[in-house]
Structure formats: C-alpha cells, structure tokens
Structure 1
C-alpha cells in the first residue's frame, strides 16, 4: 500500500526543475514498476527529452529496467542522441539491444553512432541477427580463456575480464575454454579453477561434453534446451565453433514469458500486440485483429454453403435446425480445450511430434467418455423440446460423433504445425471452431439421413 507521500509524487510535477537526486527520490517513492511505466507513458516528447538530461547512469539503468522495451525505446528516441547513447551504453547488452530493436532505423543508427566504437560494434553484431534467433538474445561478453593457459594465468585474466565486461552471476557461471581463434573446446567451473593447483593447465580441468546452440536456432528452442538441462547459461557458436556469446537463464525466462503471452493472444484469434494493452491505439488493435477475423469470416462462409446444400432436409424436419448451434458449439469447445492444453505442452517440451499416436489415443479415449456424457445431455435437451425419439436419437449420435471428430482433429493439428516449423498457437480457438463447424454439420445431416425416415430419398 503506497503512502500519501508516494501517491502525491508525480514525475510531471518534479521534472521541469528536477536534479538527478530528485529522480532517484521519485523512483524510491513510486509504488512499483507498473506505476513508473504509467507515469513515463504520459510524458510528452519534450518531457522525455528533459528526463534524459537529468538522468545519471545508475538512475537511468533502474528506470529503464522498469519500462517495457517499446516504452523505453520511445523515451530514448525522444532524447538527444548523445544522451541516449550514454544511457544505453551503460546497460547490459541484452537489455540495450532489446530497446534498440524497438527503435526506428534512423534513430537507432544515430544513437549507435554516438556510442564508443567498441560498444557500438558489439551491439550492432547482436542486432544483425533475426529477432527470433538465439543470437539476437545472446550476451557477447562471455568469459573465455585459452586451453594452454596455466590456472594461475587464467585466474588473473578472468579478474581483468570480469571488471571490463561487467559480468554477473549468470555470465560468470561458466568459464568457456577456446583455442586462440576463439573456437569453443570446453567449459570449466570457476570454482575448479580457483581450487586447482596454479601450475596445472586449463586443458586438464575443462569438460568437453557441453551443450551449445547455433546463432540461428529459434530463441524459444534454445531457451527450452537451457531449461531442460538445468543450466545457468548456454554458449552460442557459429558454424566454425567460434564462441559468439551466451544465452543466460534470465534471458531464457524472458523469452519463455514472451512466447507464452504471444501464444495466448494467438489462441484468441489475434496477432500479438507487442505493447501493453492500455497503450495500444484502436488503429493498432484493428491491425492486429482484422486479418484473423477476415480469414475466419471467409472460412466460416462454407458453413452457410453446407446449410444451403441441406436446405431440403431442414424443410422436411424443421426440428433439426433447433440443435445446430448446440452441436457446432460443443464441437468447437471440445477442440479448443484440447488445443489449449497441447499448445502449452508443446511450448514447454512436454510433448513432441513423435508422441502423436499417444496423444491421439489419449484424447480419443477421453473424447469417448465426453461423447457419452454429452450424448446423455443431448437426450435430456431433446426430450425437453419434445422433438420425438427419432430426432433425439439423431442428435445424441451426432453430438457424440462430433466430439470424437473434434478430439481427433484438435489432437493432430498442433503437433503437425510444430513439425512443419509453424507456431502451433495458430490453431487458435476460433480456427479450430471454424474447422469443426462445417464438418460437424456434414456429420449431422449424414446421421440424419441414416436415422430419420422423413429424409429417405432426399
């Protein structure tokens, strides 16, 4: 619960005459990152420029860590390029590159050009990689030593590098052993180096059985591999096994969280927003949603085609129309439950394509139980409507068949998309419902032809 003092502090109130110390006091007084983001998001471009002028290195680091990448990029873009360069140069490489990726190319190039050459070059190397690749999220400042060094020389070098590279618990967890051309040979634990005889060589202590990923490995896959092996970091190496950087556990957690958010949005039939909801304009929301809606609109059109094809059947037995919403709704809901579970299981690595037979067997077994339960519910509903035994039989058989059909389709599509290197979240709730709607109607009228005497000959 915020105090009255913290509630009264507003960045817009103190900014015109603020000094660095006052910005630090504001950071301490604000309730949390969400409130900081809220206040910064309301600043004008001129106010953001002023904010850059009064931030020092440590205060800027704390503030920018509180902001999402899109808002941080907007703030940095409004600042003088030299000021922005100083602030970003002081951040960790992974955080700085995340912010720079959100900036427009001209502003990004201006900021990078204003940085010291070595820092600018390091950031540009990471920015060259595709956004979804492991290399785009790596930290190039990996601690590395050559194999021919003695332990004493290696420890002395690590002391110098640790200060220069600003390493932390994640980047210093493993010491990578390379040759003179920086080709990765193995890994050594810092504890082993400290405790070893100073005269021994690093090659005697290193472990050459290690996990590594290529720079173009999908970031989500790399993050999952790191989690599966319970590692603090994993090296990123090129085709010649040269060490490019490392992907850390903290970065992997951020990737997993971002992917989970994107999957949830796609399963709702929308493209990821890429920014907090409250800052998304109606135009931005329209762009993210309209594509899927138009695609599903076209796909749903075949449902009307199916109904028109069976127009005579519905005229002959009007009661059939009573149950259409119930049947297609049940099929869509059944499929949505399965795809939601499978998409998450695929994301966490719990299931793979080779598990499809087991998935299908499990879901069809579950579907059988659900089908029997829903068929009984359909019998009760038909009885309350007084439609007669023949229609009741038709509806109960159909709802069971649709549940099984939906279970089969929904259990195959997510792993199949994953195998084809497509996002399984594309099998969203609206998409699976659209697929089942038309096919469910065909099943309905096919069973009606088999069970209703009135439809014989149609």
Structure 2
C-alpha cells in the first residue's frame, strides 16, 4: 500500500515530516497547513497510508479536498475507505459532483453507498454531521455477548460512547446504554435490563445543527442517535462533530456580523479576488445606504446654515445611536442562536429595550450636556448666548437616538428571522447605517423644536 502513495510524488526526504509523523498527528497537521499545496501533497504522499488516513481524519487539515484530489485514485480510495464516514463526507461535500464521482468510483459498493447517502442530506443538518459507524445490538443480547461484539468491531467504529439497542423484529431504536453502565453488569445479565427505562433522546436527519447543539447542552450528551420516521437508526452525531459545527457556525456569524459574506478558508489562504468578492458587496450596499445620510443633511441645509454649531455634534450623535443599536443586535442575535428567546418573544424584548434605551439615552444625554456646560464655563469653547438650549438639544437628541438604536437593533434580528433570513445578517455596520440616517432626522427635529425662535 505504501507504493500507492509513493507513486504520486517522488520521495522528498523531508526529515521534519517524518519526525512529526512519529509524534502527535495534530502537530503534523499544523505543519502541513503551513506548506504550499504541492509540498503538502508531496509530504502526504510520503507518509504511511495509516498515518495519511489519520491526517485526513482531522478537521483542522486545511485544503483536505484539494489534497485528496491530488493523490492517485488507489490512494484516495484507501483514504476514503478508512476515514470516518462523516469526515469523509465533509471532505467530499466541498467538491463538485464530477470530482465526487471520480473519487467514489474506485470504492466498493458499501462505503460508496454510505458516503452518497451522507452527501444527500442538507448541509448543516444532523444527517450531514452524523456517522454510520456505531454499535447497535438487539435488545435480547447479554452483557457478555455485547462486550464480545464490541471487541470484534471496535476498530471499525468511530466511537463506542454508547450502545444502541434495537427491536429484533422491526430494527427500531428502543433504548441506549452507556459503555460505563454496560461494564457494571453481570456477564449473563440482559443488556436491556441495565438500560435506563426512558425513551432515548433522538433527532431526525433534517434537524438543524444549531438545534442538535442545543440538545447536547440540555441533556449533557456525548452522542445522539439520528432516526427516521419509523425510529430506524440512521447514524449518530458525536460531541466532537457538534463542537466542530459550533465553531464553523460561530465563524460564519462573526463574518456576517462584521458586514461581509462568510468565508470557509483560513485568512491567509483567501485569494485576492475572493476577498474582494466577499467584502465588496456588503461595502457597496452600506455605502449606498450611507448616501441617505447626505440626503438627510441636505434636507436640513437651511437649519445648518443658521446654526452651524449643530454640526459639531453630528459625529457624537451618529456614533452613539449606532453603538446602542449594535449592542442590542449582538445581544439578540446571540440570544436567538442559543434559544434563550424565540420569535414569539419579540414583544417581551421590546418591553425590556424600551426602558433600557431611555435610561441609556438619558445617561449619554446628561454626559453630553455636562460636556457642553463645562466647555462653556471653563472657556474652552464659546457656544454663544444660547449654549444651554444647544446643550438641551444634544441631550434630548441623544435620548431619542439611543432609544431608537436600541429598539431597531433589537427588533431587526426578529424581523430577519421572521422573513426566513439568518439573524446574523443584521450586521453591526448595517444597524449603524440605519441608525445614522434616522439619528440625523431625530437630531434636527429636536433642534427645530428647542431652538425655534432663537438660533432657528
């Protein structure tokens, strides 16, 4: 089997690779990630097949799909055959259908069929995360028979956190039993008698990965079975797969919240054109939105000419509203993601944000008024004879703008989710842009009320 790998590339004599190969596979993966594509492929080709499988089994390996394609058909087939099924499906999923077909063609019918079934499930679903390598036994077996079976199949199973007990007639899932509980039983004892008398926690193949993660947290699980409508066991989702999914979801949400499309590559491996494509779209949308700010200021051009001093506080006004909106948005996006609030709770959130926004606005408004009064009295700047009215305008304006920012920032994630969009799309820049435009309207409207008959 070593020849299958060696024929792909000449032996490179890389002593560091061979040295790392004798240690922990995580160190080898980290080193391979630093190499250019051709050198990483050559290094993988020089590894023993078993070690190459371990490397590809690590989710931390960058460019796994491209590296797998670079190997000859027999070598890639060996890797796909020996890898855990869920990880192999993840590697194949990013390739186009043609590349998938070429890699699956050399496989035997059983592993190829398993991978095709996993690839058929929607991305980010429990079906796409699950592995088919689990231990299932009929409810009639004894402890001794179960342990003997585990010893026989252990090397071909991804995990043996638990055993899944099936009805002998229907093959439906009846109970789960942990390995710890199993080994406490007597050899002749029925495994079913040791299992806890409660229905197992299960998910369907279409369950979203976020909901799967919540189940793990709620029930403190190490694995959860995936079943169909007849309770037939399709596979299991393990805790390490859920952790990987949570990290991926967190990365996507962070990118979206920063005002760009999510990327699935390490930063230094994103191409220049791809970087532009991921960032330029949102920037253009935000830029066009910010043009409304200029339109709002043009609408109040006459007032600005009469009271030019009002322009001094425009940056303060706009940033305060944007900051309060971004705070509320980040809180609600996270709360929705963790299931702490649901779509029907929007009115409760509104009732909480209303007094919160008013109080925060009053705090910032008071600080703004104190700043103007201090600068006027200490002689740092002369705001004129109507300085108190200017301070009052800024103070009341901040109350209104921070209140609007809190309300808009908290309601926007609900609106997006109600429309079927990801709430994380309510990015901080988008909320800030929305509040900027509205904030100017609020600010100058307050100025017209307070300064009418004096400066205006």
Same fold per superposition (TM over 0.5)? yes
Task: Give the aligned CA root-mean-square deviation in angstroms.
Answer: 2.9
Moved more, 311-320 or 23-32: 23-32
Aligned residue number for residue 177 of structure 1: 166
User: If the length of structure 1 is used for normalisation, what is the TM-score?
Assistant: 0.86
Q: Is the 8 A contact 1:84 1:111 kept in 2?
A: yes
**Equivalent residue for 1:36?**
31
Q: Say if 2:33 and 2:40, in contact at 8 Å, map to a contact too.
A: no
Counterpart of 1:6 in structure 2 is none
- After TM superposition, the structure 1 stretch with the greater mean CA deviation from structure 2, 54-63 or 225-234, is 54-63
2:175 aligned counterpart, secondary structure:
strand
Q: Deviations over 1:185-243 (max 9, x none)?
A: 22223344444455555554443422111111111211221122101111111222211
How many Å apart are 1:381 and its aligned residue?
Answer: 4.1
**Residue 157 of structure 2 corresponds to which residue in structure 1?**
166
Aligned counterparts of 1:202 and 1:38: Cα–Cα separation in 2: 45
| Change in CA separation of 1:69 and 1:120 when aligned onto 2, cut-off 3 Å | farther
Q: Which of 380, 386, 391 is equivalent to 2:382?
A: 386
Shift of residue 455 of structure 1?
8.2
Using the TM superposition, give the Cα deviation of residue 28 of structure 1 relative to its aligned residue in structure 2, in angstroms. Answer: 5.0
In the other structure, the counterpart of 1:237 is 227
Query: CA 1:48/1:115 → structure 2, altered by over 3 Å: closer, same or farther?
Result: farther
Contact 2:29 2:60 in 1 (8 A): no
* C-alpha distance in structure 1 between counterparts of 2:137 and 2:13, whole Å: 43
2:311 to 312, 321, 342: 321
Q: 1:188 aligns with which of 177, 182, 198?
A: 177
Match of 1:440 in 2: 439
> Across the two proteins, how many residue pairs are aligned to each other?
437
In the other structure, the counterpart of 1:227 is 217
What is the deviation of 1:364?
A: 3.8
Within-5 A mapping of 1:24-423: 24-28=18-22, 32=27, 35-40=30-35, 42-44=36-38, 47=39, 50-65=42-57, 68=60, 70-163=62-155, 165-168=156-159, 171-196=160-185, 201-206=190-195, 207-383=197-373, 384=375, 385-387=381-383, 388-418=387-417, 420-423=419-422
- Give me the TM-score of the superposition, normalised by structure 2: 0.86
Distance 1:81 1:20 in 2: 24
1:453 maps to: 452
For 1:241, what is the secondary structure of its paired residue? coil
Are 1:186 and 1:210, in contact at CA under 8 Å, matched by a contact in 2?
Answer: yes
Query: What are the superposed Cα offsets for residues 383-407 of structure 1, whole Å, 9 maximum, x if unpaired?
Result: 4343322222111100111111111
**Is the Cα–Cα contact under 8 Å of residues 187 and 210 in structure 1 kept in the other structure?**
yes
Paired residues of 1:81 and 1:111 also in contact (CA < 8 A): yes
User: Structure 2 regions of 5+ residues with no counterpart?
Assistant: 1-8, 376-380
SS of equivalent to 1:17: coil
Deviations 1:132-172 (A, max 9, x none): 11110101122212234455544444443434x3243xx43
Distance change in 2, residues 1:455/1:412 (3 Å): farther
**Within 1, Cα distance between the matches of 2:154 and 2:262?**
38
- Residues 57 and 88, structure 2, Cα contact 8 Å, conserved in 1: no
Deviation at 1:65, TM superposition (A): 4.8
Query: 1-side partners of 2:128 and 2:341: how far apart?
Result: 26
Equivalent in the alignment of 1:5 = none
- CA shift in 2, pair 1:348/1:28, >3 Å: farther
Range that drifts further, 20-29 or 206-215: 20-29
Partner secondary structure for residue 204 of structure 2: coil
Taking a change above 3 Å as real, the CA distance of residues 27 and 198 of structure 1, as seen in their structure-2 partners, is: closer
C-alpha separation between the residues in 2 aligned to 1:167 and 1:291?
42
Aligned to 1:3: none
